[in-house]
Structure 1
Amino acid sequence: MTPTVPVNTTSSDPTASGSAPEPEPSAAAEAHARFAAPRGTIHPDRDLGWIRRLWPVVAGHRGIFAIALGASVVSLLCGVAVPRIMMAAIDQALDQRTEPLSGFIFLIAGLGLLRGVGGYISRSFLFRVAYAIENDLRVMLFEHFSRLSFSFYDRVQSGQLISRANSDIRTLQLFLTFGPLMSLTLLSFAAAIGLMLTISIPLTIVTILPLPFVAILGARLGRLTFPISWIVQARQADLATTVEENLSGVRVVKAFAGERSQIEQFDQIARQLQWINVRQAEVQAANAPAMEAMPRIGTAMVLLVGGWLTLEGHLTIGAIVAFTTYVVMLQAPFRMFGFFLMMLQRAAASALRIYEVLDEDPEVVDRMHATDLHQPSGALEFRNVFFRYGDGPQVLENFSLEIPAGESIAIVGRTGCGKSTIGRLLARFYEVNDGAVLVDGEDIRDFTLNSLRAQVGVVAEDPFLFTAAIHENIAYARPSATRAEVREAARAAGAFEFIENLPDGFDTVIGERGYDLSGGQRQRISIARSLLANPKILILDDATSAIDVHVERC
């Protein structure tokens, strides 16, 4: 199990990588049985609007989505038909007092029942679609996180990414749940206007007179809301970043008695979020009353003109009742219009923030026709390598180094001279700017990433451990490993004895990042994890700095 070519570097720069351990097989099997994998991805054309880019994801659930929309249409049309039937019933009752109204009563009751069933189906199915798309986007985003290169995480704060994976996706989910219902109110609006025209054309014209003013106010609200919504989401991300950093660095904060300054920093960011939220509410409050007042003005005009037409004999009592009911019915779309625009603009801002990440291309990818690296001897060469992190200073300049197979070497030097960088380039966490890194005489870029990293083990000075059992942390390198193999790897890393002395041995669940263990214990578990993978090349990036000399020699 001992690797052929251990390479030891002394560096204080931590390098930690990994992702959360897989769930228990039974739980994973149940989840896969109940919920399908994402059925689509966003459209790659960045010039399309955000809704058109999202459509391939929505189209993956078009069957359920179509049922939901169909049920919504049935429900809305049933509601629109009732006032027209009421008009006929009232006029018949007034003209022919002996004519029974039971037919109208049963018809209205049937339409009401059908409307209720349609409303239930539409809402339940829309929720299912919205939650499915939310899950698709979240899984899609997480998968993309795993593909992005180290250079991306060097410049983007984790809180910004967490905000996109949580609050931004939730904003989209809310829009996908209620947006279609609000959009379909336009259908009921059109159907109601059509039926109103069959009753009285002049009165219908009076009713729709406020519409141009509502459209103007809506356009103004949209222009003001989008930039504010973007800032709201950005401030929420800043807040998430601050919380994440303070929770991760709580030991440093307490060690330097920095609680007060951190609270003040958090309070400042929270106040910025509060201010922009208040500003958003003020914009809505300034426009919503006017938008809601327009239909009420229309109602007053309908009662005035309709009453006069009724007195003149141009309208029946049933007609004026039906018309008034339609006007009241039309007030709902008017009231929802402003809220819909706010929700639309917030969803647009969130979608664009999500697309910002999904449109990021990983810098380190497999070359076309890359082959797997099988059983290398472990001979390494850095040939005239140039490298810098982003736009920073040159770290390696015309660097060359040869390490024969089977040798162990130590690289020493001052902090920041590039010792850790050598290991990162060998594992191809970053691409060289110029030159080449070779394994067995072949450029590592000609090998697939997975096969290369399976042969290159990296143990950092500050290793990352999951909140899971010690057995699971070690077996993360090779989930198929038996319990005996895990114990043997721990013994080889000098970790077996202290693990066995823990309350539950290898089944002991360690706290977040393993901070309830000593630094040396964490390093030994990390070394055991790498040894279990049995790589041909092992890089110890100052990985024994917290281990006493006796254990290190062992």
Structure 2
Amino acid sequence: MPPTPRRAPRGGIHPDPSKTWLRRAWPIVRAHRALLATSLTCSFAGLVVQVWIPDLVRVGIDEALVDRTGDLTVYVGLIAVLAVTQGVINFLARLYLLRTAYEMEYDLRNIVFTHLMRMSYAFYDRAQSGELMSRATSDIRAVQMYLAFGPSILVQCTIAGVAFALMLSINAPLAVVAMLTMPVIAVLGVRMRKAIFPVSWLIQSRLAGVATVVDENVQGVRIVKAFAAEQRQVDTLARAADRVRWAYTTDSRIRGRWLPVMDNLPRLGLAMVLLIGGLMVLDGNATVGTIVAFNSYVLMLQPPFRMLGMIIMMGQRAAASAQRIYEILDTPADVLDPVTPVAPEPRGDVRFEGARFAYPDGTVALDGLDLHVRPGETVALVGATGSGKSTVARLAARFYDVTAGRVLIDGADVRDYPLDTLRDRVGIVPDEPFLFSVSLHDNIAFGHPGATREQVVTAAIAAGAHAFIERLPEGYDTVVGERGYTLSGGQRQRVAIARALLVNPPVLILDDATSAIDVRVEHEIHEALRDLMHDRTTIVVAHRLATIGLADRVVLIENGRAVASGTHTELLANEPRYRRVLATSVSEVPA
């Protein structure tokens, strides 16, 4: 069954960082205004019905019980009908509110994830995965809760205004007495808002710290166990969790200081209503039904006051979370599609002209590299660790941009290619292959999702992976564990090679792609690769003589430059630097 097409987000985040966080998020709210407005309308209608019921109780008591001029069953029936009506309206309000909330969350998640997918390697060199996970989950949820539920809570708070209007129509002096505590509530709300905001930011930041510790230890659990560092890592998590606990405790102290006062001020209003109202009844200026109704209205004021404190806290947490999300969205991608793209005829011609590149931490990888790989040629790059060999692959596929010079594919600067076109032409098999937690078929077909089983099997045979896949319980339908750790290192590398071969790129780069494969299997793969590399430009980052033997030409890289070029035999005979690299870097001794 084909996957359901992804729906594009209906709203976005305003790009102007000078706007408030709410104004930047407004396009998302506006995109779902129909659903939200329907929910708020139903919610308000339910409040009107809720406020109407105590007034019916007042009239029923005064007319049916005190004056005995009305029929009590009529009032009971009307109240029952209103109660059912309110239940139906509240159900619809909740239904549409939850739909609005999930639609907004969908948009926010897609906006953040799409931006993360656009970011270049340099961004992920700096970012922590746990921090990104926290911003893409708990921070999004905090913003979504406020955008969707905040307006609903505000509408719920309007019950105070509706009730006050009815109380004024019934008995104005008593209504004023009932609302005397409102100004105090407003002042306390503002003060609590100022106190909670920095703590809310701190909570989200420290939650991200805990997520980072957990993420790193789950992914690195084999290293942790290898060094018997379990208890040390548990202590690290405990320290991170303790910082979160302190932030939550501080938040609780603030809430404990302000919320009880805000919750109980309406009860003070109730006591005043009973006192003043009782005296008015004794003086004949009010009825018993009025006191009962006002008692209900004052009780109705308690949830809005409590929700007022809730919306203040939600707002502060959402503001802190939004700023953390905007930090990601406001970070521009370093590698972008060109304004005027090119797409010359694919031939497989690769050229580096004076290429210079330094990683974000300042490490210089290439320092004026000049290299030309002709169409159909296989070139092995040999050099000491840190000489810049792997960087050649990353620049050819434009994972990074050169800081000086040019990288050309088929005569065009890689910066002039659309990224998807360039990466279709340059296939890379990294030295540390990553597999997804899906079937082996889907892992091999990752770059070509529409590939048939026959095409997948052909690529697996060429990569030397078919035999071990066939021995698995479910063959190509076997689901590998996270990051492919249910397979050996050599098996993962063979699957990665098959994945690259299936795309059939004009330029294939093997970045020490057979380092975890034993010599016998490597020989089988090399025999298959010889046929596949015919008429295909191939760059091999080599550490083994068997891998070097695949190449038509060997280029020695030293300090980010190509210092020698020739066949293996020529360099071995005439280049002492090449012999030194072989002695220290190549796992097989030359014959």
> Scaled by the length of structure 2, what TM-score is found?
0.85
Aligned pairs for 1:319-338 (under 5 A) are 319-338=290-309
Report whether the alignment pairs 1:63 with 2:34: yes
In the alignment of these two chains, the number of paired residues is: 524
**Which one of 402, 406, 420 corresponds to residue 436 of structure 1?**
406
Deviation at 1:158, TM superposition (A): 0.8
- Distance of 1:325 and 1:490 partners within structure 2: 75
Partner residue, 2:433: 463
Deviation at 1:76, TM superposition (A): 0.3
Report whether the alignment pairs 1:88 with 2:59: yes
Secondary structure in structure 1 of the residue aligned to 2:408: strand
Report whether the alignment pairs 1:486 with 2:456: yes
Aligned pairs for 1:490-501 (under 5 A) are 490-501=460-471
* Structure number with higher relative contact order (C-alpha < 8 Å, ≥ 6 residues apart): 1
User: Where do 5+ consecutive residues of structure 2 fail to align?
Assistant: 528-591
Deviation at 1:177, TM superposition (A): 4.9
- Distance of 1:99 and 1:504 partners within structure 2: 79
**Which one of 224, 247, 256 corresponds to residue 285 of structure 1?**
256
Report whether the alignment pairs 1:508 with 2:494: no
Q: 2:344 touches 2:412 (CA, 8 Å); kept in 1?
A: no
Q: What percentage of aligned pairs have identical amino acids?
A: 49
**Please, which moves more after superposition, 348-357 or 213-222?**
348-357
Deviation at 1:140, TM superposition (A): 2.2
Q: 1:519 touches 1:546 (CA, 8 Å); kept in 2?
A: yes
Aligned pairs for 1:104-503 (under 5 A) are 104-374=75-345, 376-503=346-473
- Distance of 2:238 and 2:443 partners within structure 1: 37
Assess, with a 3 A threshold, how the Cα gap between structure 1 residues 98 and 309 changes in structure 2: closer, same or farther. closer
Deviation at 1:361, TM superposition (A): 1.8
Partner residue, 1:538: 508
Partner residue, 1:517: 487
Deviation at 1:462, TM superposition (A): 1.0
Q: 1:471 touches 1:486 (CA, 8 Å); kept in 2?
A: yes
- Distance of 1:53 and 1:45 partners within structure 2: 7
- Distance of 1:95 and 1:481 partners within structure 2: 84
Assess, with a 3 A threshold, how the Cα gap between structure 1 residues 508 and 105 changes in structure 2: closer, same or farther. closer
Q: 2:159 touches 2:300 (CA, 8 Å); kept in 1?
A: no
* CA displacement 1:1-59 (0-9 Å, x = unmatched): xxxxxxxxxxxxxxxxxxxxxxx52xx23xx5xx8542121222222222222222223
Deviation at 1:191, TM superposition (A): 0.9
Deviation at 1:218, TM superposition (A): 0.8
* One-letter amino acid of the counterpart of residue 313, structure 1: G
* One-letter amino acid of the counterpart of residue 504, structure 1: E
Deviation at 1:127, TM superposition (A): 0.9
- Distance of 1:113 and 1:416 partners within structure 2: 75
- Distance of 1:510 and 1:92 partners within structure 2: 76
**Please, which moves more after superposition, 465-474 or 246-255?**
465-474
* CA displacement 1:359-388 (0-9 Å, x = unmatched): 2221111111213354x2112111122211
User: Where do 5+ consecutive residues of structure 1 fail to align?
Assistant: 1-23
Deviation at 1:539, TM superposition (A): 1.0
> Scaled by the length of structure 1, what TM-score is found?
0.90
Q: Which has the larger radius of gyration?
A: 2
Deviation at 1:457, TM superposition (A): 0.6
* CA displacement 1:150-191 (0-9 Å, x = unmatched): 111111111111112222222234334532332112321111
Deviation at 1:393, TM superposition (A): 3.2
- Distance of 2:224 and 2:71 partners within structure 1: 81
- Distance of 1:180 and 1:145 partners within structure 2: 30
- Give the RMSD, CA atoms, in angstroms: 1.9
